[in-house]
Amino acid sequence: MPHGTALFDGMTLPHNKATGVTSVHEARDALGKRLRDLRHRAAMSGRQLAESLSWPPSKVSKLENGRQTPTEDDLRAWTRTTGAEGELGALLASLRTLEIQHSEWQRQLRTGLRAHQQAIADLDARTKLFRAFESTFIPGLLQTTEYARFRFAQSITVLKVKNDIDEAVAARVQRQEILYRPEKRFHFVLTEAALRYRLCPPGVMLGQLDRLISLSALPNVRFGVIGFETPYAVAPAHGFWLLDRDRVMVETFSAELNLAQPQEVELYESIFERLAADADYGRSARAIIHRVIDGLAPEAAENDS
């Protein structure tokens, strides 16, 4: 999406700010241009370089035009063949920065789901203020074991990764201990749709909704729900997490985006503030949850029978 076009109703993205996806693409493009410069300095055509490395010519083109992320071995081979070994360190640093921004699930989860939960726990330990907006599902820190099991099952089905659901659920439950640490603060904003989507059986969802009511009473947790009848100041395009004022995490089907540029964090803080202002809290939020429970309970009872 070009800079300066409307991202959300009532909000325009300034020219000097980029969306998370755009910043990742720009970083990949910049890395590709540096590789092209090294090839030009070596007076080699793309075909010559590809032949020297026994690569298909399309790979050189994809790397130089930012359509494919190079591996560390690709960078080593490129700099060796173009006589630019002195540039390798800087290129590897750029690649690692890019990988932090855009971490593909297939790579993150290749050893299973539990390892990723432990990595997130390490990040949780360093974070003091958690702000989360979710429009589709219940945030991991608030999930029951049964609800979490269905979420992990989807990951295994879609991404075809190692099945270690039991270990992953246990790691997620252990992470939730952080909710009871008084020095940590949490602000969750959910849409009513996230309370109603059928991502698990009705009985499981009833247990999940009951847990939300309990957790909403914790003194260090601010829990808001945006009801269906509430007009949105900003469209609920996707969920995201703000960790302190240092990082924004956005999950897509294929990858986890970690955004750390100050202008990106500032943009998402502004969006979160608008969404949070639309939410109901306290008794009003719990009234929305009870409304969902009342509608779901007969179906759950029918399924049990």
Structure tokens at 113: 């789901």
Residue-level pLDDT at 94: 78
CB 250 within 8 A of CB 265: no
Q: What is the CA radius of gyration of the chain?
A: 23
Of all residues in the chain, what percent are helix, strand and coil, respectively (each to 5)? Answer: 60, 15, 30
The mean per-residue pLDDT over the stretch 31-41 comes to 94
C-alpha span between 8 and 13 (Å, rounded) = 9
Residue 9 has pLDDT above 70, yes or no: no
Nearest one of 48, 175, 179 to 115, comparing CA atoms: 175
Residue-level pLDDT at 69: 83
Structure tokens at 5: 């076009």
Band the pLDDT of 99: cuts 50, 70, 90: low
Residue 29 has pLDDT above 90, yes or no: no
Mean pLDDT of the chain: 85
C-alpha span between 101 and 250 (Å, rounded) = 10
For 264-291, write each residue's pLDDT tens digit: 889 999 999 999 999 999 999 999 999 9
| In the chain, % of residues over pLDDT 90 | 58
The mean per-residue pLDDT over the stretch 64-75 comes to 89
C-beta atoms surrounding 305 within 10 Å = 5
Residue-level pLDDT at 183: 96
| Distance in angstroms between the alpha carbons of the first and the last residue of the chain | 51
Residue-level pLDDT at 21: 47
CB 194 within 8 A of CB 137: yes
The mean per-residue pLDDT over the stretch 76-91 comes to 93
For 134-180, write each residue's pLDDT tens digit: 999 999 999 999 999 999 898 888 777 777 889 989 988 999 999 99
Band the pLDDT of 44: cuts 50, 70, 90: very high
